[in-house]
Amino acid sequence: MSGGGARYERFEKEPLEPEQFLLDVRKEKIDRVVSQRTRNFTVVLDRLEDSFNMAAVLRTCESFGVQEVHVVINPEAPFLPNSRVAQGCDKWLDVKQYKSFADCREHLKSRGFSLYASAIREGATSLYSLRFDTKMALVFGNERYGVSEEVLANVDGTFWVPMRGFSQSLNISAAASACISRAIAWRDEHLGGSGDLSAEEAQALRERFYVLAIKQRKRLFKQRP
């Protein structure tokens, strides 16, 4: 005859706190990363088609502290970053996808962003002349065709990356890397740092990262990554 049962074992388990599963050195690393995150500078990818480029841009954004990436879907190429290139970096990011550039623009404009598209054309501003002290989104286009005419007609301006060699164009992931590096360096130099999250935003992101840093999070918290 077995004993026990629900009626004899009525107790509530204490809720699990993610912090208890992390070493102090790991929590310090997460806190440092959160303190350097920006939501005031972001990147828009317009209809990319190469999975390696998708992943490379995400990895660059994450490594430089750019928290958000906005993606205008290519109807002929789903946004599926190559996992070997991304190496899981996308779990730390907010990747927002849109069916059209109009939807993406509306979202960013509602939050006060200026949008500048990468395009070599008359009147384009040098990357090195751009300021990054306000909310700024840089738009990068398709590997073969560049940004769409819709993008060019609806951004606040265009910019180009000055080059000094015989090559006068860059792969999308290389161009994005150069621009992101420039933007973050500019913010560090002129603003004293690139991190700009509010206390509430930082706390929410910190709590999320604590969970994501736990390998057994799915089993422990019944939470998808």
Whether residue 167 is contained in a domain is answered as yes
Beta bridge pairs of residue 138: 43, 116
- 106, 173: one domain: yes
Taking 60 as the threshold, does the pLDDT of residue 6 lie above it? no
- 99, 175: one domain: yes
pLDDT number for residue 11: 40
CATH code: domain of residue 138? 3.40.1280.10
Compute the mean pLDDT over every residue in the chain, rounded to the nearest whole number.
90
DSSP string, the chain: -----GGG---PPPPP-GGGGS-HHHHHHHHHHHHT-BSSEEEEEES---HHHHHHHHHHHHHHTB-EEEEEPBTTB-----HHHHTTGGGGSEEEEESSHHHHHHHHHHTT-EEEEE---TTPEEGGG---SS-EEEEE-BTTTBS-HHHHHHSSEEEE----SS-----HHHHHHHHHHHHHHHHHHHHS-S----HHHHHHHHHHHHHHT-TTHHHHH----
Burial 68-93 (b: 16+ CB within 10 A, else e): bbbbbbbeeeebebeeebbeebbebb
- 148, 51: one domain: yes
Identity of the amino acid at 137: A
pLDDT number for residue 148: 95
| Across 139-146, average pLDDT | 95
- 163, 187: one domain: yes
- 124, 54: one domain: yes
Dist CA 181 CA 124 (whole Å)? 20
- 119, 159: one domain: yes
pLDDT number for residue 156: 98
β-sheet with 157-160: strand ranges across? 94-98, 68-72, 41-46, 136-140, 114-118, 157-160, 125-126
Taking 70 as the threshold, does the pLDDT of residue 225 lie above it? no
Task: Please tell me the total count of domains within the chain.
Answer: 2
Dist CA 202 CA 102 (whole Å)? 29
pLDDT-wise least confident of 67-71, 84-88, 162-166, 184-188: 162-166
From the annotation, which residues make up the binding site?
118, 161, 170
Whether residue 138 is contained in a domain is answered as yes
- 133, 217: one domain: no
Q: What is the pLDDT of residues 22-53, one digit of tens each?
A: 888 999 999 999 999 999 999 999 999 999 99
pLDDT number for residue 168: 81
Whether residue 68 is contained in a domain is answered as yes
Planar angle of CA 222, 83, 25, nearest 5 degrees:
60
Look-up of token digits 């819709």: 150
- 62, 88: one domain: yes
From the annotation, which residues make up the binding site for S-adenosyl-L-methionine?
118, 161, 170
Taking 50 as the threshold, does the pLDDT of residue 94 lie above it? yes
- 155, 52: one domain: yes
Task: Supply the range of the domain harboring residue 152.
Answer: 39-196
Taking 80 as the threshold, does the pLDDT of residue 9 lie above it? no
